[in-house]
Amino acid sequence: MSTATTPGGPLRLGARRTARIRLAGALLPLLSACGDTAGPASPDEVAAVHVSPSAAELTVGDSVQLTAVPVNASGQPLSGHPVSWSTDDEAVATVSGSGLVRAVGSGDARITASSRGREGRATIGVPTPAVTTVVIEPSSGSLAEGDEAPFGARALDADGHEVTGRVVQWTSSDAEVAMVAPDGRVTAVRSGSAVVRARVDGARAEAPVSVSADYGADLVFTRWFGVAGLAPELHVQDPGDPDRAAAPLHPTGIRGVAPSPSPDGSTIAFTARMDGQRGIYVVSRDGTGLRALTSDEADDQAAWSPAGDRIAFVRWPLGADADIWIMDAADGGNAVNLTAAFGDSGQISPAWSPALPGGGHRIAFAQVADGLAHIFTVNPDGTDVRQVTFGQVYDDQPAWSPDGTTIVFQRHSDTVVGDLWLVDAGGGNERPLVSLPMGQFDPAWSPDGRLVAFTSKHASGGRYDVYTVWADGSKLARRSYETDTDNESPAWIIRP
């Protein structure tokens, strides 16, 4: 069987089919592109947000009203589109929901208005204002010794606007009267007057501060004059009245060292040489009744009993160990060696305790042996000896706090040179009180227990002065002020 076939027939049919497939493939991208093409923007669509003014410069406290207008692609204003406001630095400028901008601090801030995903911005500059005035609050102060009070300072520009964020520099005209901390807190150190100053940039202000005190007692101490050969005198100083110079306690002719007032302040025991005789003497506060209680060259360091009827003292014969003795305060009679049985050691610096919580009294002293010294306490009859301090140290000059709980003393060691330390009266809890160059000595508690008086030359060019420090180690204050004398061995004397 034969089949008629037109030349090329099957081949042409296949070619046409292939051509149609290729054409369809070529049209697909074109059709897709035509489908993705956006039409013209809607005239109600937000294309941008115009903010006016676009920039402003304000001073702190001033404000400016910004407006924001949403526009379409043709720049035509649109209505009915909400606008929200924001700032990129609230420390410089804040903005309200209506576009009101307020300057609060120096710097630059960018304010943004947003609507339908579109934003417009304005730049706000707040230049650094010049401080022309400083105001201290309170404008003055009256403090008692030991008190603290906060002082503040406000910085103002020429228009009276407050300038914030500036550093205030605080100083005191007399830090020995009133100290001022970097935050403006003033501490009353001792009686007197001072001026507290606040400075911001080139502007400054001052506030007078007065400090007062009444301890109900005076400081009595030994004053050595600069004149060669002149014997020392006992002087008295009111710690609450530094403007009044220290005065001789007695008329000229009564001279001595190491004053020890009786508990009622009526009589003073001291060491002196009079009419060629050295020993322990007593005299009334008004200078009458002078009499010698001992006549031994080796006697020193008198300490009254709380009842005022007996006096403990040190007898340190040349070439022998020192001992603590007790005698009648009236005439020096009935002298008894309290530490005769203590063996190969010396006992010095007696200090009588107040009435103790358990009843009775004790005597604190320093025991010296083998180059070391420690604080001990003992009953007035020589019984019940207790060691209070320990270690490779030289501890001396104990003094009891008025409540009998604490003993202050002087300590020397390889790392400590004459610093004042505290220890619990029963031993333990040793801690430093005062650490200053040149050494401190002769500590004495004030009757109210707030202060410890002592001698130091750390700030007087080699001259000794009387200082006080609070019982917590703060508020160091100088209490003797003359520049041509040495002042040492302070004690507190109750006023009549």
Residue type, 427: G
Give 311's pLDDT tier (boundaries 50, 70, 90): very high
- Quick one: what percent of the chain has pLDDT higher than 90? 69
The rounded distance, in Å, linking the Cα atoms of 446 and 13 is 128
- pLDDT value at position 33? 38
Instruction: Please name the residues in contact with 382: beta carbons below 8 A apart, sequence gap of 6 or more.
Output: 338, 339, 341
Give 251's pLDDT tier (boundaries 50, 70, 90): confident
The pLDDT of 178-201, averaged and rounded, is 96
Give the position of tokens 């200090």: 351
- pLDDT digit string (tens) for 423-446? 999 999 999 999 998 889 999 999
- pLDDT digit string (tens) for 73-127? 999 999 999 999 999 999 999 999 999 999 988 899 999 999 999 999 999 999 9
DSSP letters spanning 255-299: --EEEEE-TTSSEEEEEEEETTEEEEEEEETTS---EES---TTE
- pLDDT value at position 40? 60
- pLDDT value at position 476? 93
User: Can you list the domains of the chain with their CATH numbers?
Assistant: 48-126 (2.60.40.1080), 133-212 (2.60.40.1080), 217-494 (2.120.10.30)
More confident residue, 37 or 316: 316
Contact 411, 457 (CB under 8 A): no
Sheet of 277-284: strand order equals 257-261, 267-274, 277-284, 291-292
Give 416's pLDDT tier (boundaries 50, 70, 90): confident
Residue type, 272: A
Phi, psi of 67 (to 5 degrees): -120, 145
The pTM score is 0.75
- pLDDT value at position 375? 98
- pLDDT value at position 243? 72
Give the position of tokens 């610096």: 349
- pLDDT value at position 417? 86
Residue type, 416: V
The pLDDT of 52-57, averaged and rounded, is 95
**Cα separation values, 255 from 249, 260, 282, Å:** 10, 14, 11
Checking if the pLDDT of 6 tops 90, the result is no
The mean-pLDDT minimum among 149-163, 234-248, 290-304, 315-329 falls in 234-248
- pLDDT value at position 281? 95
Query: Mean pLDDT over all residues of the chain?
Result: 88
- pLDDT digit string (tens) for 442-456? 999 999 999 999 999
The pLDDT of 55-72, averaged and rounded, is 93
The rounded distance, in Å, linking the Cα atoms of 196 and 171 is 6
Give the position of tokens 């501490």: 187
- pLDDT value at position 171? 98
Contact 312, 302 (CB under 8 A): yes
The mean-pLDDT minimum among 147-161, 224-238, 242-256, 434-448 falls in 224-238
Give 227's pLDDT tier (boundaries 50, 70, 90): low
The pLDDT of 458-476, averaged and rounded, is 89
The rounded distance, in Å, linking the Cα atoms of 111 and 88 is 7
Instruction: Please name the residues in contact with 22: beta carbons below 8 A apart, sequence gap of 6 or more.
Output: none
- Quick one: what percent of the chain has pLDDT higher than 70? 91
Give 156's pLDDT tier (boundaries 50, 70, 90): very high
- pLDDT value at position 23? 37
